[in-house]
Amino acid sequence: MEGLGDRADGLDSIRISGIRHYGYTGFFAEEQVLGQWFEVNLTLWLDLATTGANDQLENTLNYAEVVAAVTAVMDAARFKTLERLNTAILERVLAFAQVRRVHSELVKLSPPIPGFGGQITIAMTRSKGSGV
């Protein structure tokens, strides 16, 4: 699993985990009307060298803005598949200027599968310029 401290292409990473939000994505019509809880875990790759050297907030990524962007996508989304919702999340996070690459794990916390008490996770990674 990719996590804090991993380096991709000489970049640093920030992990934002446990973004829990109510959303309306799912195959069944009821899922798109009644909704359900999801969780998103992100690893963002960017250059943190400047902020690490000068300790200035304006040189780094605002984590609160990333969380707000993810929850806004989930509020607006009415998709049938988790893959499409996760792609929309990836596209939105890559819109932040500092972010060069993002790994997103989208978790459906209580999927409506008879006899199944587990979770479903869709993990995807995209980079700027990769044609998301």
CA distances from 89 to 25, 57, 59, 102, 116 (A): 13, 24, 23, 10, 26
Residue 101: count other Cβ atoms within 10 Å of its Cβ: 21
108 a catalytic residue:
yes
Instruction: Give the closest residue to 127 by CA, choosing from 15, 8, 3.
Output: 8
Please report, as a single letter, which amino acid is at residue 96: F
Phi and psi at residue 55, in whole multiples of 5°? 60, 35
| Catalytic entry in 100, 101, 103, 108 | 108
Catalytic residues: 108
